[in-house]
Amino acid sequence: MQQRKLPPRSQCIIVVNPTEAEATATQARLDYHLQLLRSHMVTLFDGDEVEPAASIRVNAAFRLGKPRQDNSPRPLKVVLRAEGEAKAIFQRTHKLKGTPARFLKDLGSDQRSKMKTALEELMERRAKGETDLCIRDFPVTKCYERVDDGHVAVLELLFLSARVSLFECWRTTPIRKDLEKPCGAEASFVTEGIPQLE
């Protein structure tokens, strides 16, 4: 028996909550799904981005799972021509805010288990009262906060222990010479060759 070659997950997207086609013919359902995707592409690539939207090509589109008893929509898996097209779509998914449609990455089984663990941790931490949490590459971290002047302020910085010692020994020119405190002999490799401001 010959194995089917699966497309790379990096060029696949999962569309959640797309309405189901009422047609029973296969080609009619496929046309409906493609028309649905085109309508989302118009929302994602608006204004001057008509050319990138026109360049996106769909290799395959199909529903995941069997039709449900309650007629709720099944996720739609879309295989795109190239990985760059999937990245372009994910960079613009914030434009779908307020609509029921969601675009998700096609995760492998190990990534899905990491995501499940991260979601459980997120729920526990929110239940304890923590706010401004998000999942970035599976660990739960503090999100960024928009400050009044438009700059992004980091709410939480995590340094590795090796980096902390490096930052503690980094020597900068003080405002007044009498405030200068040496870091010690271990910092000589760090400060050597760094021009000091006068």
Kindly report, residue by residue over 74-121, the tens digit of the pLDDT: 899 999 998 888 998 888 888 888 888 888 888 888 888 988 898 899
Average pLDDT, integer, range 170-193: 37
Query: Does 169 reside within a domain?
Result: yes
Query: Does 196 reside within a domain?
Result: no
Co-location of 29 and 92 in the same domain:
yes
Average pLDDT, integer, range 176-194: 39
Determine the pLDDT at residue 34: 87
Co-location of 144 and 96 in the same domain:
no
Co-location of 41 and 76 in the same domain:
yes
Co-location of 47 and 32 in the same domain:
yes
Query: Does 3 reside within a domain?
Result: no
pTM of the model: 0.60
Co-location of 144 and 176 in the same domain:
no
| DSSP string covering 82-125 | -HHHHHHHHTTGGGGTTSS-EEEE---HHHHHHHHHHHHHHHHH
Co-location of 42 and 73 in the same domain:
yes
Co-location of 46 and 87 in the same domain:
yes
| Average pLDDT of the chain to the nearest whole number | 72
The SS3 call for residue 78 is strand
Co-location of 92 and 30 in the same domain:
yes
Sign of CA pseudo-dihedral 184, 187, 189, 190: negative
Decide if pLDDT at 59 tops 50.
yes
Phi, psi angles (nearest 5°) of residue 113? -70, -40
Co-location of 14 and 96 in the same domain:
yes
Average pLDDT, integer, range 188-193: 37
Q: What range defines the domain where residue 181 resides? A: 161-191
Query: Does 2 reside within a domain?
Result: no
Query: Does 180 reside within a domain?
Result: yes
Question: 9 or 162: whose pLDDT is higher?
Answer: 9
Domain count, the chain: 3
Determine the pLDDT at residue 188: 34
